[in-house]
């Protein structure tokens, strides 16, 4: 017997249930942060990005466990984690809800090229560091970190966090559709999507009840063409499906249900020759891919401040603008808001690309000075350098000045380069001034404090050297080296 409940009511009930679970996740997250703020230490972040520490440093932490559990549960029951537990998805859903209330129509973009982005992001974030750790014979023994005092160490500050939520969580939804970030950028989405293809938990159809009304497709916020997939495969096979169950709740005939069934990889189409739906041409896909690459590389680590996930969001914004340019969709008459947004985006990306190119040149020349800087810090290099030896310092300094002129943020790296250029010329005063300026931008920056301490030691001011080294806190990577230096200098002073 078919349960006669209005599909609208069932859909609303399901949406509310999912919203409640997502809100609960946010509350738990805030409680975790509050616990750390109140007590000074807490369980290390339950954030999947923390799993990258295992790839880099063989550190086992709660973030790695969360990612492992998410993958294992997805392999069994499908991609529930994304739809019911991800805080970033909650932001996207909230934004989509606001847009619906404002009656702003969002057109989801269906791209093949952009589906590669999450895979590349996952490779870059986890597999490349893992490979380089293993191939370089790096850390041999695993360590663990369950409790931390520096909870926020690997997360961006409040400004960048808000910008990330606004761009990747909201603006991308407005431009490319709800779940666009999940499907076209999120590195965890890549591994969870792949795991979903092996899962036995599926949305399946009772073909006797389905009349192809398409209500399920309309209800799907992941842009899955549900009615077509169930007709072809007897189940939803697209790994964009986050098991939100909206389609199940919306079907007027209750033809859909979540069941344990054959995984996608073992299913075959009942109509293999059915035409594939690819709304974009190959040249449009290419433009999207190029636009994404430009937007990503123009913004990643821009001003030393734009983190990986935000740069992925910017990449999607740039891809959308590139496609609009290609399709000649930029018209004031169509939408003033979109037209202005595109123009702003184009100016922003052009400027960012210019800043990034100057910063790249700065870093290129500055990296060439690495051996000399290390020699100085080991006390093996006497300064000032001769003019012919200081060319790379001068070039790096020149590009740092250009980057400063073009920028409105991120001066810390430029001042660091200026500092070393002046030291190379033997100007201790300017070196110290610029290093202090770096510390104004980034208080407590262990590496810079350490170098200042060593510098004072080399200059024979042991007292200053010790005072600087003592400022390095126990959670800093330079702490052990600073303590060793203090001991060394202390015993040297005692002997004399
Ligand atoms: S599964 Fe339900 S909602 Fe989807 S096409 Fe069939 S009858 Fe319509
Ligand atoms: S196919 Fe159904 S369960 Fe999957 S995301 Fe779409 S609405 Fe949700």
How many Cα atoms are found within 13 Å in the side-chain-facing hemisphere of 36? 17
Ligand 1 neighbour 205 (Cβ under 6 A) = yes
Residue 392 in domain:
yes
Residue 125 in domain:
no
pLDDT above 50: residue 467:
yes
pLDDT above 60: residue 419:
yes
- The predicted pLDDT at position 371 comes to 95
Instruction: Tell me if 70 sits within 8 A of 49, measured CB to CB.
Output: no
Ligand closest in space to the Cα of 255? 1
- The predicted pLDDT at position 2 comes to 47
Residue nearest to atom 6 of ligand 2 (CA): 220
Rounded to whole angstroms, the Cα distance separating 475 from 148 reads: 9
Q: How confident is the model at residue 50 (pLDDT cuts 50, 70, 90)?
A: very high
Residue 426 in domain:
yes
Taking residues 469-488, report their average pLDDT: 90
Residue nearest to atom 4 of ligand 2 (CA): 241
Rounded to whole angstroms, the Cα distance separating 268 from 335 reads: 43
Separation of CA 193 and ligand 2 centre (Å): 13
- Ligand 2 is surrounded, with C-beta below 6 A, by 203, 219-220, 222, 224, 226, 236, 241-247
- The predicted pLDDT at position 65 comes to 97
- The predicted pLDDT at position 400 comes to 96
Separation of CA 59 and ligand 1 centre (Å): 47
User: Where is pLDDT greater, at 227 or 411?
Assistant: 227
Residue 442 in domain:
yes
Residue 430 in domain:
yes
Query: pLDDT tens-digit profile of 134-165?
Result: 998 776 788 899 999 889 888 888 899 999 99
Separation of CA 74 and ligand 1 centre (Å): 25
Query: pLDDT tens-digit profile of 59-69?
Result: 999 999 999 99
Residue 122 in domain:
no
Count of other CB atoms within 10 angstroms of residue 137 = 7
Residue 460 lies in domain: 355-495
CATH number at residue 366: 1.25.40.10
Residue nearest to atom 2 of ligand 2 (CA): 247
pLDDT above 90: residue 167:
yes
Separation of CA 223 and ligand 2 centre (Å): 8
Query: pLDDT tens-digit profile of 306-346?
Result: 999 999 999 999 999 999 988 877 666 677 887 888 889 99
* C-alpha distance across the termini of the chain, in Å: 95
Residue 137 in domain:
no
How many Cα atoms are found within 13 Å in the side-chain-facing hemisphere of 473? 8
Residue nearest to atom 7 of ligand 2 (CA): 220
- The predicted pLDDT at position 27 comes to 95
Ligand 1 neighbour 207 (Cβ under 6 A) = no
Token match 């290419």: residue? 286
Whole-number average pLDDT of the chain: 92
pLDDT above 80: residue 358:
yes
Rounded to whole angstroms, the Cα distance separating 396 from 418 reads: 8
Separation of CA 215 and ligand 1 centre (Å): 6
Rounded to whole angstroms, the Cα distance separating 294 from 373 reads: 33
78 conformational bin, left if phi > 0, alpha if psi -120 to 50, beta if neither: left
pLDDT above 80: residue 1:
no
Separation of CA 112 and ligand 1 centre (Å): 26
Q: How many separate domains does the chain show?
A: 1
Residue nearest to atom 8 of ligand 1 (CA): 213
Rounded to whole angstroms, the Cα distance separating 436 from 315 reads: 35
Instruction: Tell me if 337 sits within 8 A of 344, measured CB to CB.
Output: no
Query: pLDDT tens-digit profile of 241-295?
Result: 999 999 999 999 999 999 999 999 999 887 766 666 678 999 999 999 999 999 9
Name 59's bridge partners.
143
Residues in CB range of 172: below 8 A, 6 or more apart: 92, 180, 181, 185, 313, 316, 317
Rounded to whole angstroms, the Cα distance separating 111 from 370 reads: 43
Query: pLDDT tens-digit profile of 190-237?
Result: 999 999 999 999 999 999 999 999 999 999 999 999 999 999 999 999
Ligand closest in space to the Cα of 256? 1
Count of other CB atoms within 10 angstroms of residue 357 = 16
- The predicted pLDDT at position 275 comes to 63
Q: How confident is the model at residue 458 (pLDDT cuts 50, 70, 90)?
A: very high
Q: How confident is the model at residue 115 (pLDDT cuts 50, 70, 90)?
A: very high
Ligand 1 neighbour 212 (Cβ under 6 A) = yes
Query: pLDDT tens-digit profile of 90-101?
Result: 999 999 999 999
Rounded to whole angstroms, the Cα distance separating 213 from 418 reads: 67
Count of other CB atoms within 10 angstroms of residue 371 = 10
Percent of the chain whose pLDDT exceeds 90: 78
Residue 332 in domain:
no
Ligand 2 pocket test, pick from 22, 218, 242 with the greatest ligand atom count within 8 Å of Cβ, gives: 242
Atom of ligand 1 nearest to the CA of 227: 5
Atom of ligand 2 nearest to the CA of 243: 3
Q: Is 189 exposed, middle or buried (0-12, 13-18, 19+ CB in 10 A)?
A: buried
Q: How confident is the model at residue 375 (pLDDT cuts 50, 70, 90)?
A: very high
């Amino acid at each position: 017997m078919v349960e006669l409940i209005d599909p609208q009511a069932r859909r609303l009930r399901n949406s509310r249930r999912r919203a409640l679970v997502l809100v609960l996740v946010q509350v738990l997250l805030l409680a975790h942060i509050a616990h750390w703020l109140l007590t000074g230490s807490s369980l290390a972040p339950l954030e999947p990005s923390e799993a990258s520490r295992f790839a880099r440093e063989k550190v086992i932490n709660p973030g790695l466990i969360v990612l492992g559990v998410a993958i294992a549960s997805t392999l069994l029951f499908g991609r529930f984690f994304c739809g019911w537990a991800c805080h970033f998805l909650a932001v996207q859903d909230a934004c989509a809800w606001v847009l619906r209330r404002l009656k702003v129509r969002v057109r989801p973009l269906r791209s093949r090229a952009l589906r590669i982005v999450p895979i590349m992001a996952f490779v870059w974030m986890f597999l490349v560091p893992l490979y380089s750790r293993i191939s370089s014979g790096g850390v041999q023994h695993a360590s663990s970190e369950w409790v931390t005092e520096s909870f926020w160490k690997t997360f961006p500050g409040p400004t960048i966090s808000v910008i990330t939520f606004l761009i990747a969580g909201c603006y991308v939804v407005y431009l490319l559709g709800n779940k666009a970030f999940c499907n076209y950028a999120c590195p965890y989405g890549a591994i969870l999507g792949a795991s979903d293809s092996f899962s036995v938990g599926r949305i399946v159809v009772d073909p006797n009840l389905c009349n192809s009304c398409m209500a399920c497709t309309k209800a799907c916020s992941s842009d899955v063409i549900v009615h077509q997939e169930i007709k072809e495969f007897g189940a939803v096979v697209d790994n964009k499906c986050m098991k939100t169950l909206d389609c199940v709740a919306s079907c007027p005939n209750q033809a859909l249900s979540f069941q344990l069934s054959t995984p996608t990889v073992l299913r075959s189409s009942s109509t293999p020759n059915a035409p594939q739906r690819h709304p974009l041409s190959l040249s449009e896909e290419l433009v999207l891919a190029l636009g994404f690459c430009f937007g990503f590389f123009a913004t990643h680590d821009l001003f030393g401040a734009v983190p990986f996930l935000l740069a992925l969001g910017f990449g999607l914004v740039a891809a959308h603008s590139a496609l609009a340019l290609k399709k000649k969709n930029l018209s004031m008459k169509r939408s003033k808001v979109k037209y202005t947004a595109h123009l702003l985006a184009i100016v922003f990306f052009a400027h960012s690309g210019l800043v990034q190119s100057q910063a790249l040149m700065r870093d290129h020349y500055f990296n060439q000075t690495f051996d000399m800087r290390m020699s100085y810090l080991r006390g093996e290099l006497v300064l000032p350098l001769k003019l012919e030896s200081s060319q790379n310092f001068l070039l790096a300094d020149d590009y740092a000045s250009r980057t400063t002129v073009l920028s409105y943020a991120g001066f810390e790296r430029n001042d660091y380069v200026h500092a070393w250029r002046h030291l190379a010329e033997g100007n201790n005063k300017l070196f110290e001034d610029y290093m202090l300026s770096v510390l104004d931008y980034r208080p407590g920056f262990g590496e810079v404090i350490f170098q200042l301490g060593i510098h004072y030691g080399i200059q024979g001011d042991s007292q200053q050297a010790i005072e600087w080294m003592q400022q390095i806190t126990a959670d800093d990577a330079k702490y052990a080296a600073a303590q060793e230096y203090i001991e060394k200098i202390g015993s040297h002073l005692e002997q004399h």
